Amino acid sequence: RPGYTARAIVGNERADAVGFDLAMVEVLPTADEARVVGHLGPDPLAADWDAAEAARRVGADSRPVHVALLDQRNVAGLGNVYANEVLFVRGILPTTPGTDVDAPALIDTAARMIRTNRDRSRRVFTGDARPGRGMWVYGREAKPCRRCGTLVRGGALGARPTAERNVFWCPVCQR
């Protein structure tokens, strides 16, 4: 990724992790860590990943499922690109209440997407890693759906008016 998109580099003697295009960075002493991450839900990249618990939390959340997926108390690590792409792949409208979706299937797909993309420099959801081909709907408002040709729609959803995120969906493929 271009260096100018890097926002933070966190490293130790074994590895460096670069955060690109980060919306928010908070630096704090280790002793205060629990205050920030103590509430996190199951993490698909953690050794103790609990898919059933993540599905239970998302499936019990009556807010729009796009909002439920981004709430890190339900499942940790899913960003806005993942929420948009996994909802397309599962054929779910972003406004559908979390209580009305097949949460175990949704969480299973999301976890597989995160693991598949973990070691790639660029996230790919379509299976086509060529530049500009990797996303189904994210950032593709008014472009033809890659599956059915209908124009992709764009909007915003959020838990609060100050926390709205860009949402993209195909009105035919996602019901």
Chain residues that interact with Zn ion, rule: CB under 5 A: 145, 147-148, 150, 170, 172-173
In the complex, least distance from residue 136 CB atom to Zn ion, rounded to whole angstroms:
9
| For Zn ion, the closer CB: 66 or 153 | 153
Question: Tokens 């993209």, residue?
Answer: 168
Q: Using CB positions, name the residue nearest to Zn ion.
A: 145
User: In the complex with Zn ion, which residue's Cβ is closer, 103 or 170?
Assistant: 170
Listing DSSP states for 66-85 in one string gives HHHHH-TTTSSS--HHHHHH
Query: What gap in Å lies between CA 79 and CA 34, rounded to an integer?
Result: 21
CB of 169 to Zn ion, least distance (A): 9
Could you say which DSSP state residue 152 is in? P
Of 112 and 143, nearer to Zn ion (C-beta) is: 143
Q: How far is CA 50 from CA 5, 67, 99, 162, in A?
A: 32, 20, 19, 30
State the minimum distance, in angstroms, from the CB of residue 132 to Zn ion. 18
- Min dist CB 50 to Zn ion, Å, is 33
Which is nearer to Zn ion, 56 or 147 (by Cβ)? 147
Partners of 157 in beta bridges: 165
